[in-house]
Amino acid sequence: MSKLKGKFVLITGASSGIGKSLSFQVAAHQAIPILIARSEEKLVSISKKIEQEYQIKALYYAVDITDQERWGSYIAGNTISCSSNRCSDQ
Ligand SMILES: NC(=O)c1ccc[n+]([C@@H]2O[C@H](COP(=O)([O-])OP(=O)(O)OC[C@H]3O[C@@H](n4cnc5c(N)ncnc54)[C@H](OP(=O)(O)O)[C@@H]3O)[C@@H](O)[C@H]2O)c1
């Protein structure tokens, strides 16, 4: 059994390239990816594909990680809420 099974894995740059590929790999190990990037529509699409392929509910949070207020607050541990697969600070 994978050591990742059931764990949450935060992946920045998840809407394309290395981050997108890693998101699918994480789900293949039965872990729950938290997809981070700015392009919400891409994150929605990736989240759906992961669910179809691996029956894993991938969460996503559309945020610009250069935004000190929003991303800084998240990293500092302030709560974001998730409804269905979508997470938000608003
Ligand atoms: N590809 C390679 O072979 C390779 C090799 C060595 C190193 N690298 C490095 O690895 C990194 C990723 O490469 P990649 O090929 O996967 O690049 P990529 O396909 O351009 O992906 C970049 C990711 O970062 C996200 N992103 C960019 N700016 C952001 C911001 N301000 N806030 C939140 N998300 C942001 C983009 O999504 P949004 O635009 O939706 O926000 C996208 O998901 C790069 O730094 C690259 O130099 C790549």
More confident site: 24 or 88: 24
Q: Check whether 76 has a pLDDT greater than 90.
A: no
pLDDT grade, residue 7 (50/70/90)?
Answer: very high
Task: Give the pair of three-digit tokens for residue 78.
Answer: 């302030």
Q: What is the CATH number of domain 8-83?
A: 3.40.50.720
Say if ligand 1 is within 6 A of residue 40 CB. Answer: no
Give Cα separations from 74 to 43, 47, 65, 69, 86 (angstroms).
18, 20, 10, 9, 15
* pLDDT at residue 77, as a whole number: 75
pTM of the model: 0.93
With beta carbons less than 8 A apart as the criterion, state whether 55 and 32 touch.
no
* pLDDT at residue 89, as a whole number: 81
Which of 21, 24, 38 to probe ligand 1 with, by most ligand atoms within 8 A of CB? 38
- Lateral strand order in the sheet of 32-37: 8-12, 32-37, 59-62, 86-88, 81-83
pLDDT in tens, 9-68: 999 999 999 999 999 999 999 999 999 999 999 999 999 999 999 999 999 999 999 998
Domain ranges of the chain: 8-83
Closest residue by CA, ligand 1 atom 11? 18
Say if ligand 1 is within 6 A of residue 38 CB. Answer: yes
Say if ligand 1 is within 6 A of residue 19 CB. Answer: yes
